[in-house]
Amino acid sequence: MELQLQIKMNPNLYLRDPDSTGLGRNIIKHSIKLIHDIGFEDFTFKKLAVEVGSTEASIYRYFENKHRLLTYITTWFWTWLEYQLIFHTNNLRHPKEKIDIVIKLLTFEVQDKFIVEHIDKSLLHGIVICEGDKAYLTKNVTEDNKSMLFKPYKDLCHRIAEIFLELNPEFVFPHSLASTLIETAHRQMYFKEHLPRLTDFGKSKAVRPLVGFLQHLVFKSLEN
Partner DNA sequence: TTTAAAATGATAGTATTACTATTACAAAAC
Partner DNA sequence: GTTTTGTAATAGTAATACTATCATTTTAAA
Report the distance separating Cα 120 and Cα 43, nearest Å: 18
* Residues contacting residue 123 through CB under 8 Å, at least 6 positions apart: 32, 33, 36
Q: Which residues 58-77 are close enough to bind a second copy by CB under 8 A?
A: none
Asked if 42 touches DNA (CB under 7 A), the answer is yes
Out of 119, 157, 163, 207, which residue is the one contacting a second copy (CB under 8 A)?
Answer: 157
Q: Nearest distance from residue 3's CB to a second copy, in Å?
A: 29
What residue 78 binds from a second copy, DNA, none (CB within 5 to 8 A, per partner kind)?
A: none
Q: Nearest distance from residue 116's CB to DNA, in Å?
A: 18
Report whether 131 contacts 42 (CB < 8 A).
no
Q: Nearest distance from residue 151's CB to DNA, in Å?
A: 23
CA angle in degrees (0–180, nearest 5) for 62-67-73: 70
- CB-based burial label for 220 (10 Å; 0-12, 13-18, 19+): exposed
Residue 143 CB neighbours (<10 A): 10
Asked if 37 touches DNA (CB under 7 A), the answer is no
Asked if 200 touches a second copy (CB under 8 A), the answer is yes
Residue 124 CB-half CA count within 13 A: 22
Asked if 16 touches DNA (CB under 7 A), the answer is yes
Backbone φ/ψ region at 190: left (φ over 0), alpha (ψ -120 to 50), beta:
alpha
Out of 1, 3, 57, 172, which residue is the one contacting a second copy (CB under 8 A)?
Answer: 172
Residues making contact with a second copy (CB under 8 A)? 38-39, 41-42, 130-131, 133-134, 136-139, 141-142, 145, 150, 153-154, 157-158, 172-180, 183-184, 187-188, 190-191, 194-195, 197-201, 212-213, 216-217, 220-221, 223
